[in-house]
Amino acid sequence: MSKAILPSLDAPVWSRWLLSLLLPLMAGAIWWQGQHFDPGLVQLQASAQAQAKTKLPPLPDALLGLPRFGPPRPYNADNLYEYINGHAEYYLSSGFTGLTVVEYATAGAQQPQLVANLYHMGEPLFAFGALMDELSPEAQPLEGIGSMAFASGDGLNLILGPYYIQLSRFDAQLDLAQAAEALATSLRQGLGQIEELDLSFPRLGRPLATYFVKEAYRGMGFLNQVLERQFQGPEGEFTAFQILDSAEQIQITGQALLDFLSQDGIAVEQAEHQGLSYYRVDDPYEGEWFFVIGKTRLLGTFTAPEPSLLQAIRAD
């Protein structure tokens, strides 16, 4: 049987008095601190921070003749889960800085007929990554809307600058493409100059598909914000990747790639083609491939350094 630990009856009288006064003293200290707590100060700081994160984009008052159904609803990293609980973590790890939800419906309607979710992803490349990740297999590309747009059923997704936008209709008669054009026009006019998406690659072949990898491309932690494109060349399909960054960061990333290959015992040979310096890799896993460390671009192709490819890179 365990025994409770009690003050010894032989302890001095002054120590018993001290113990009996300890609890009232603690209660008094907590009360005093409570009288000096200013909840308004904490709330004011949080409110200002949230407002800065959720600055509303320029939105049209009406789309397809439908007025707004209630005011726009902003969300930030602190409350995004309230709107997309279960999927918020994806956006928070993909560059998300804010979301604005705006709805439209005929006057007097009880439910919205058109809903637009405008995700601010920080950078055009991050918006492109979200678009590619959430694209349904049935989605069809639409020309001339934003920087890139796809439609599928009652939904249309597009990107414009740092915005990834989802449009959903609850009335099959509504023209989503027309609504997307009007929304994109409003954003362009309200935001002024918009940083356009740069997906340019050298002319290595016929583009088949393009993807964006935000972090750790092919498991290499130093290859981040990578644009990958599949090409159809004369000898078959192959994959190329590129990173665009400052001259200093490209040199750091290129050296990290060389160090990684050296540490893994993969043979790398520096070569030159008409003044273009490149590295040819004899990889036991990927086969022969090569990469070029340019001034502000690191470009690699998982295929042999054919003269036509090197010439295309040199001419770009």
Predicted TM-score (pTM) of this structure: 0.67
Burial status of residue 209 (CB atoms within 10 A of its CB: 0-12, 13-18, 19 or more): exposed
CA distance 249 to 298: 10
Report whether 158 contacts 119 (CB < 8 A).
no
For 58-104, the three-class secondary structure string (H helix, E strand, C coil) is CCCCEECCEEECCCCEEECCCCHHHCCCCCHHHHHCCCCCEEEEEEE
pLDDT, tens only, 229-262 = 999 988 899 999 999 888 999 999 999 999 999 9
pLDDT-derived band at 13, boundaries 50, 70, 90: low
Sorted by sequence, the CB contacts under 8 Å of residue 30 that are 6+ apart come out as none
- Which of 187, 176, 100 is CA-nearest to residue 147? 187
Q: What is the pLDDT of residues 158-188, one digit of tens each?
A: 999 999 999 999 999 999 999 999 999 999 9
- Is residue 5 predicted with pLDDT exceeding 80? no
- Rounded to 5°, the CA angle 225-229-231 comes to 165
Residue 17: predicted pLDDT: 59
Give the per-residue pLDDT at 135. 84
Which tokens sit at 99? 């979301």
